[in-house]
Amino acid sequence: MNFNPLHTTNSFAELLKLEQTEFHLHQHVDFATYKEQRLLFLKSQNSSTSIQALIDYNLGFVPKIGLFAGSFNPFHKGHFNVLQKAEKLFDKVIIAFGKNPDKNQRTWPVPKTISNRQHAEYNGLLTDLIDSLPYEVTVIRGLRNSTDFNYEQNQYRYLQELKPDIKIINIFCDKEFEHISSSGIRTLEKFNKHQNYLLE
pLDDT tens figures, 2-28: 998 887 777 888 889 999 999 999 999
Contact indicator for 72, 96 with CB cutoff of 8 Å:
no
81 pLDDT tier (thresholds 50, 70, 90)? very high
106 pLDDT tier (thresholds 50, 70, 90)? low
State the CB neighbour count (10 A cutoff) for residue 16. 15
DSSP per-residue letters across 30-48: -HHHHHHHHHHHHHHSPP-
Q: Which helix (H) or strand (E) holds 17?
A: helix 12-25
CA distance 193 to 74: 14
Residue 198 confidence (pLDDT) above 80: yes
Residue 117 confidence (pLDDT) above 80: yes
Question: What local confidence, expressed as pLDDT, does residue 45 receive?
Answer: 87
Question: What local confidence, expressed as pLDDT, does residue 103 receive?
Answer: 62
pTM over 0.85: yes
Residue 1 confidence (pLDDT) above 70: yes
Q: What are phi and psi of 196, to 5 degrees?
A: -65, -15
The residue that leads in pLDDT, 145 or 113, is: 113
Contact indicator for 23, 1 with CB cutoff of 8 Å:
no
pLDDT over 90 percentage in the chain = 66
Q: What is the mean pLDDT of the chain?
A: 91
State the CB neighbour count (10 A cutoff) for residue 114. 19
Question: What local confidence, expressed as pLDDT, does residue 149 receive?
Answer: 83
Contact indicator for 184, 175 with CB cutoff of 8 Å:
no
CA distance 45 to 184: 53
Question: What local confidence, expressed as pLDDT, does residue 50 receive?
Answer: 87
Residue 112 confidence (pLDDT) above 80: yes
Question: What local confidence, expressed as pLDDT, does residue 168 receive?
Answer: 96
Question: What local confidence, expressed as pLDDT, does residue 70 receive?
Answer: 92
Q: Which helix (H) or strand (E) holds 96?
A: strand 92-98
Question: What local confidence, expressed as pLDDT, does residue 79 receive?
Answer: 96
Task: List the 168-172 sheet strands across, edge first.
Answer: 119-122, 92-98, 65-70, 138-143, 168-172
63 pLDDT tier (thresholds 50, 70, 90)? very high
Contact indicator for 51, 10 with CB cutoff of 8 Å:
no
CA distance 103 to 61: 38
Of 131-140, 152-161, 166-175, the one with minimum mean pLDDT is 152-161
Question: What local confidence, expressed as pLDDT, does residue 21 receive?
Answer: 94
